[in-house]
């Protein structure tokens, strides 16, 4: 048995798995470009206060799941690995004066996040997300656009059966009265509340609707609904969001108990689920509007909306449906040789082709030609470039492994012929 292993709740993304993540990251980056979101990077760790302030101290993320980094000296700042990207993106937005840019400022981050969560299927302590944020637009049209972009991601990834659950959780004008109503309701059932939810009754009663404890299911279903108590402005905003979604042909299901798990959300909240898998542990991703977060982290009051889509969940869902998660990249050609010992010529030809932007592998093991060709076929290479006596006259043999044909090619034309074949997928 190996002496050292990946930490519990993490795993190595081996090449066949990493290829699937790379494919999803490529879809995310393509969509970000199409929708006008600019990619950026933020640190893997932040001041812990960014999350305590931005996400909320009475959330599971901060209370139980934050990976805190122990300071080396007593006067060091307190750091934590990022459990999500939104707070860090907004911190960067404020720090670098991005409020001076024309709104909305659309930003995208793809990368790993960290939560000290109980490991289970689809939930890892290091996991990958695509986060997209539109900062500076009060909506509601941008709300619908963000939801539609998230849904398009799943369709292009190969999950056409994803549905949108939608709700509005009001704002500072109408939510306080609702919270009092909610607190009164749950106080009447306090004896039935699990210990954690009993504490939340005083700190943040809205979080009770996001409880993952099965004992809360019936109580949550009968709780007062925020959607029935929206102020006029929030109700009009939510109606307009739905009008825009209808215009885009995006189907959705109203879910009055959907509140999202973090404190900074307001008004529009939504999550993505595969149809028939609506349990709280089955969400593929979600997001919402967070009009107070920029101000909370030191900026001017600024409206914003975004989402975080879990790539791990998508890979798992694709595997469950039997879909092809990824196609590992195969070399266009493998450079082989009739003389097993002549690795110099094979490497030189490979370098020439690589300088032209072609994906090729040089066979550098001193093996017989038959074994070299066998390995190239197993790698799903399209061609084998065979180095033989013809090289003295400036020629090589080009073998189409898929079509089974072979012909002599001038070395000077090899890169052009391979590039043309790669573009047209021509066989023979």
In this predicted model, what pLDDT tens digit does every residue of 113-147 receive, in sequence order?
A: 999 877 776 678 999 999 999 999 998 999 999 99
What share of the chain in percent tops pLDDT 70?
Answer: 92
Higher pLDDT, 394 or 55: 394
**How does strand 38-39 pair with strand 105-114?**
parallel
Q: Alpha-carbon dihedral of residues 8, 12, 16, 17, nearest 10 degrees?
A: 60
Q: State the span(s) of the chain assigned CATH 3.30.930.10.
A: 15-174+230-321
What does the pLDDT read at residue 65? 83
Neighbours of 105 (CB within 10 A): 20
For residues 140 and 303, what is the distance between their CA atoms, to the nearest angstrom?
Answer: 11
For residues 222 and 203, what is the distance between their CA atoms, to the nearest angstrom?
Answer: 21
DSSP 8-class letter at 71: P
For residues 306 and 131, what is the distance between their CA atoms, to the nearest angstrom?
Answer: 7
For residues 163 and 272, what is the distance between their CA atoms, to the nearest angstrom?
Answer: 6
For residues 420 and 422, what is the distance between their CA atoms, to the nearest angstrom?
Answer: 5
Domain 15-174+230-321 classification at class level = alpha beta
Integer angstrom CA distances of residue 13 from 66, 176, 181, 293: 23, 45, 47, 34
Higher pLDDT, 279 or 103: 103
Q: pLDDT tens-digit profile of 176-208? A: 899 899 999 999 998 889 888 888 888 888 888
| Helix (H), strand (E) at residue 345 | helix 343-355
Q: State the span(s) of the chain assigned CATH 3.40.50.800.
A: 333-424
What does the pLDDT read at residue 213? 85
Average pLDDT over residues 258-275: 83
What does the pLDDT read at residue 58? 56
Q: pLDDT tens-digit profile of 156-183? A: 999 999 999 999 999 988 988 998 999 9
For residues 90 and 82, what is the distance between their CA atoms, to the nearest angstrom?
Answer: 13
- Asked whether the predicted pLDDT for residue 111 surpasses 50, the reply is yes
Q: pLDDT tens-digit profile of 367-409? A: 999 999 999 999 999 999 999 999 999 999 999 998 999 999 9
What share of the chain in percent tops pLDDT 90?
Answer: 67
What does the pLDDT read at residue 260? 67
What does the pLDDT read at residue 427? 41
CATH architecture of residue range(s) 333-424: 3-Layer(aba) Sandwich (3.40)
For residues 85 and 104, what is the distance between their CA atoms, to the nearest angstrom?
Answer: 18
């Amino acid at each position: 048995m190996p002496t050292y292993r990946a930490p519990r709740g993490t795993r190595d993304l081996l090449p066949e798995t990493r290829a699937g993540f790379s494919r999803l990251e490529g879809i995310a980056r393509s969509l970000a470009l199409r929708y006008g979101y600019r990619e950026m990077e933020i640190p893997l760790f932040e001041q812990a206060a960014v999350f305590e302030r931005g996400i909320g101290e009475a959330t599971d993320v901060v209370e139980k799941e934050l990976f805190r980094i122990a300071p080396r000296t007593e006067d060091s700042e307190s750091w934590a690995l990022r459990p999500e990207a939104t707070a860090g993106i907004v911190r960067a937005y404020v720090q670098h004066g991005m409020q001076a840019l024309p709104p909305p400022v659309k930003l995208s981050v793809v990368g790993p996040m960290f939560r000290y969560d109980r490991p289970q299927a689809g939930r890892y302590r290091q996991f990958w997300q695509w986060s997209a944020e539109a900062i500076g637009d009060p909506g509601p049209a941008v709300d619908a656009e963000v939801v539609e972009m998230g849904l398009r991601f799943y369709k292009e990834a190969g999950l056409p059966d994803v549905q949108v659950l939608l709700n509005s959780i009001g704002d500072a004008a109408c939510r306080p009265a609702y919270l009092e109503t909610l607190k009164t309701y749950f106080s009447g059932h306090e004896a039935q509340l699990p210990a954690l939810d009993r504490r939340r009754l005083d700190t943040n009663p809205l979080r009770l609707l996001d409880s993952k404890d099965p004992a809360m299911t019936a109580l949550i279903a009968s709780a007062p609904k925020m959607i029935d108590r929206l102020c006029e402005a929030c109700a009009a905003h939510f109606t307009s969001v739905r009008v825009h979604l209808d215009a885009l042909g995006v189907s959705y299901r109203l879910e009055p108990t959907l509140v999202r798990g973090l404190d900074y959300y307001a008004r529009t909240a939504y999550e993505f689920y595969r149809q028939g898998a609506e349990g709280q542990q089955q969400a593929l991703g979600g997001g919402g509007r967070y009009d107070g977060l920029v101000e909370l982290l030191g900026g001017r009051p600024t409206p914003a909306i975004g989402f975080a889509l879990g790539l791990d969940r998508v890979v798992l869902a694709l595997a469950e449906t039997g879909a092809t998660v990824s196609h590992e990249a195969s070399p266009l050609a493998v450079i082989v040789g009739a003389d097993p010992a002549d690795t110099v010529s094979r490497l030189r030809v490979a370098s020439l082709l690589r300088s032209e932007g072609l994906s090729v592998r040089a066979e550098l093991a001193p093996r017989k030609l038959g074994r070299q060709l066998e390995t190239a076929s197993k790698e799903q290479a399209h061609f084998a470039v065979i180095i033989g006596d013809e090289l003295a006259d400036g020629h090589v043999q080009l073998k189409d492994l898929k079509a089974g044909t072979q012909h002599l090619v001038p070395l000077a034309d090899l890169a052009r012929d391979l590039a043309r074949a790669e573009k047209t997928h021509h066989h023979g």
